[in-house]
Amino acid sequence: MNIVEIPSYFWGLATLGLCLLVFPQLDPANRLHRLIVSGAAIGSILIYMIWRLLATLDLDRPVSALLSAGFFMLEVCSTLGGVLVLVVLTRRRDRLKDVSSNIRWLHANRPSAAIFICTYNEDIGILDRTITGALNQNYPAKVYLLDDGRRPEVEALCRRRQVEWLTRPDNVHAKAGNMNAGMTTLATRGEMPDFVAILDADFVALPNFMSHCLALFQDPAVGVVQTPQHFFNPDPLQHRIKGHLDLPDEQRFFFDTLLPAKDGWGTAFSCGTSSVVRTGALARIGGFPTDSITEDMLLSIRMKEHGFVTAYLNEKLSLGLAPEGIGEYCTQRIRWCIGAMQIMRSADGLFSRKGLNWIDRMSLMETLLYWMGSFPFRLACLLVPILYWLTGLTVMDAPIGELATFLLPRILVEAFAISWYSNGRILPLLTDTSQLLVAPEIVAASCHTLLFPGERPFKVTNKGGDRSRTVIHWKLLSRFAVVLLLTAGGMLFSYGSPLAPTFFSEQKDVVAFWSIYNVLVCIIAIIVCIEKPRRAEERAPISGTALFNAGDSATPVRLLDISSSGVAFANEGGWRIGDRGTISIRELGEVPAIIARITDRVVGAKILLSPQQQVALTHFQFAGDRMRTPDVSTLGSVLALIRGLALN
């Protein structure tokens, strides 16, 4: 049978059926199954790209030819990055068994260890919580707080908590310089440990953090152990869509899926916080690198050049704060982009002559294509339909039947493959939205840094602060509002008026589907640009009964959740705003409380903790891993997204 005699939608339906039938039967832990999944996805991509090259470029007019070829080149770069990711995902290494088998070595050798907590301007409450986690390790480690803010109140906190407060006279080389200054101080004092852990000011280490990381250093080739970054507060997208417990945070695919796969190839790299470094290896490479504002990634590259690898331990051993506002989110991503581009232009970059093998260079190429390919292509995908509606110019000359034959199978197989690898932790609509929120700045920063790779200022991602007001990011919002109006307006004009340049175009229905997707992305982005108030502190669930003591009466209450400033319990009647007393909680003792909020089901009380009770609460929240982190599925994420959009 000739292929043209088969209905165009057949290939899409056949692909969907195969994905639904075959993928659930495959095991991500099976290497052969991973090869099959990546092979299927890469095969569908290659078929699509060959068709794109041979049959879809509009070369009839000079302007269309330029646009069509330019868009195709962006698609090639983005697609090549995606193919490299699929190749990387064919392997995976799980080091949890290594931890179990190496613990005996750790306790027999008892290497010395220290913890560096790096801070610049974070709130005292955030630092106090991080110090508590560092002091609560089940393996002995001396704690040093490296304060680049040189604040007297931080010195007082360190004195009270009995940890070392280290400062320096300047802030040269930002975080890397701060850590190098700390290492110099330890060397001068004769206190240099065998290993040093790195924690950002907002990351609380769980009790097993040091012991589990140190166990992997039985292998003398391991220079760095990196653990995943988990977050106990919702990121900007999760917060606005009201889906913290059902939607994955934006970094879950990277830490839960991609880094274990990179570790399988020997190309995992340090991500800064929640890592441990072998100080002997660090001395061999000359300390923490200062050539890039992402010194963590460059640290692993330098280690690799000197024969040391970065081991990735995919175990939740710390919890931190995700960027709380869209401004902080953008600042963080731009910093990562600039740092990666600085590395590419450095003597340790993709085309360096140092001791990197082809696998290391493939990993660097994947990173380069992520920043230089993915973001420009996403931006082009947002703007191309507008160009079509307003001018009639196309970048892809293909009837809808051929798109259903070639494009639809590629989209389905690739989406199912990534979902299968990530256990449902990827929702393409949210991934595209998160990238487009910062895409223009990423494109500008990556190009500028590659062309002018001089030193760039280090911008700290602000954590904490006042989140009690609604904040509208007008500049960012207006960007998406204009795209939304032009896309929707152009589409309506095209279908409603014979005067529209695309009224009689055969491409109209194809671009309409494309435009509807873009409209959804713009709506989500606009919602995210309107930051609603959020709690000053995240609450931890707590169960059991407490006693609310007011005068001579003691009322049993059923506890629901708790933070350092408030507690919630079930409303069983009889409460009034302003009622004062104390509440006796088993984990904390007796705490002063005042009723501040009453709903049909919940009573909220403000509480005032002593310093000792604050420490006890941090132990309760983090040592028992009670801070909420989402356990997601694809269906749950989709339902959460629909619910969140409806509520907005």
pLDDT of residue 641: 72
Q: Are residues 481 and 552 in the same domain?
A: no
Q: Are residues 487 and 518 in the same domain?
A: yes
Q: Are residues 412 and 274 in the same domain?
A: no
- For position 318, which CATH number holds? 3.90.550.10
Which residues form the domain of 421?
3-88+368-463+468-531
Please enumerate in sequence order all residues whose Cβ is within 8 A of that of 325, keeping only pairs 6 or more positions apart, or say none. Answer: 236, 462, 467, 471, 531
In the listed set 504, 531, 558, which residue is the last one of a domain according to the structure? 531
Domain membership flag for residue 98: no
Which tens digits make up the pLDDT trace of 468-493?
788 999 999 999 999 999 999 999 99
Q: Which residue has the tokens 């000197």?
A: 306
Domain membership flag for residue 455: yes
pLDDT of residue 94: 96
Q: Are strands 602-607 and 566-570 parallel, antiparallel or unpaired?
A: antiparallel
Please enumerate in sequence order all residues whose Cβ is within 8 A of that of 410, keeping only pairs 6 or more positions apart, or say none. Answer: 44, 45, 47, 48
Three-class secondary structure assignment of 279-292: HHHHHHCCCCCCCC
Enter the tokens of residue 243: 């889906």
Q: Cβ distance 363 to 267 under 8 Å?
A: yes
Domain membership flag for residue 206: yes
In the listed set 531, 549, 581, which residue is the last one of a domain according to the structure? 531
Q: Are residues 7 and 145 in the same domain?
A: no
Q: Are residues 377 and 476 in the same domain?
A: yes
Which tens digits make up the pLDDT trace of 50-93?
999 999 998 888 898 999 999 999 999 999 999 999 999 999 99
Distances (CA, A) of 49 to 56, 77, 419: 10, 12, 22
Domain membership flag for residue 25: yes
- For position 584, which CATH number holds? 2.40.10.220
Q: Are residues 545 and 511 in the same domain?
A: no
* 600/572 Cα distance (integer angstroms): 9
Which tens digits make up the pLDDT trace of 365-423?
999 999 999 999 999 999 999 999 999 988 998 888 888 889 999 999 999 999 999 98
Distances (CA, A) of 241 to 237, 320, 529: 6, 21, 12
Burial of 385 (C-beta count, 10 Å sphere; 0-12/13-18/19+): buried
* 216/232 Cα distance (integer angstroms): 26
- 3 pLDDT band, cuts 50/70/90, is very low
- Rg from Cα positions in the chain: 27
Three-class secondary structure assignment of 111-152: CCEEEEEEECCCCHHHHHHHHHHHHCCCCCCEEEEEECCCCH
Q: Are residues 614 and 580 in the same domain?
A: yes
* 284/292 Cα distance (integer angstroms): 18
Which tens digits make up the pLDDT trace of 570-600?
998 889 999 999 999 988 999 999 999 999 9
Phi, psi dihedrals of residue 594, rounded to the nearest 5°: -140, 130
What's the number of domains the chain is made of? 3
Q: Are residues 378 and 490 in the same domain?
A: yes
pTM of the predicted model, to two decimals? 0.92
> Nearest Cα to 544, choosing from 562, 526, 522, 523?
562
Three-class secondary structure assignment of 425-476: CCCHHHHHHHHHCCHHHHHHHHHHHHHCCCCCCCCCCCCCCCCCCCEECHHH
Q: Are residues 491 and 554 in the same domain?
A: no
- 331 pLDDT band, cuts 50/70/90, is very high
Domain membership flag for residue 613: yes
In the listed set 479, 510, 531, which residue is the last one of a domain according to the structure? 531
Which tens digits make up the pLDDT trace of 243-253?
666 788 889 99
- 627 pLDDT band, cuts 50/70/90, is low
Q: Are residues 486 and 570 in the same domain?
A: no
* 296/299 Cα distance (integer angstroms): 5
Biggest alpha carbon distance in the chain? 90
In this prediction, residues 616-629 reach a mean pLDDT of 76
DSSP state of 623: I
Domain membership flag for residue 303: yes
Domain membership flag for residue 161: yes
Q: Are residues 409 and 314 in the same domain?
A: no
* 549/605 Cα distance (integer angstroms): 13
Q: Are residues 524 and 552 in the same domain?
A: no
* 518/521 Cα distance (integer angstroms): 5
Domain membership flag for residue 610: yes
